[in-house]
Amino acid sequence: MKNLGKKLLSLTKKGNAIPNTNRGEKPILPAVLKALEKAPTHVVDGVTNVFSQVTDYLQTAEVETTKRTEIAAKRDVAIEALQNQRTAFELLMKLTFQERAAVIQKQFDVLDRAMASGDVSTVKSALDGMVAVIQSSPFKSIQEMQMAMGSKDFVVRLE
């Protein structure tokens, strides 16, 4: 009886309690039951119950390991998506503010020339252009991009 207990324990420790039928492994329970043929019925029932419980535990442990792996994979995908969004937003912010700076600089150049020549209507146009750029929110384009990225039809075009 001691040998049987040790054999069951060694089988479960080695991970052999659940046979892999894909590799042609044979189930262990019939072999154990055959070894117990001459043992009293209550001993056989007890060993069968223990073996069944160990098998159930190992199957549950495998399912839970698979679930944890799936959760980790989903987490990694979500983190990568967030990092990609961050990169896109940073690039959008950089380009938006560079564009705004360039437009305002051009407006200053026009303003300087108009003031030097005394052209009042061009001064007004340059100032109106600067005000329009300053009043427009760069964050509106970010909001539009975020909404577009949430769409299944979103496509990035590199021009």
pLDDT digits (tens, 9 = 90+) for 76-119: 998 998 888 888 888 888 888 898 899 999 999 999 999 999 99
* Distance of alpha carbon 141 from the chain centroid: 26
Q: What pLDDT, in 10s, does the model give residues 9-66? A: 555 544 444 555 555 556 666 676 677 777 788 887 887 888 788 888 888 988 999 9
Supply the pLDDT for residue 23. Answer: 57
Show the tokens assigned to 150. Answer: 């949430």
* pLDDT for residue 154: 62
Mean pLDDT of 119-130: 92
End-to-end CA distance of the chain: 78
For 151, the enclosing helix (H) or strand (E) is: none
The total of other beta-carbon atoms located within 10 Å of residue 47's CB is: 20
Per-residue pLDDT at 2: 47
Q: How open is the CA angle 36-38-41, to the nearest 5 degrees? A: 75
pLDDT at 4: 53
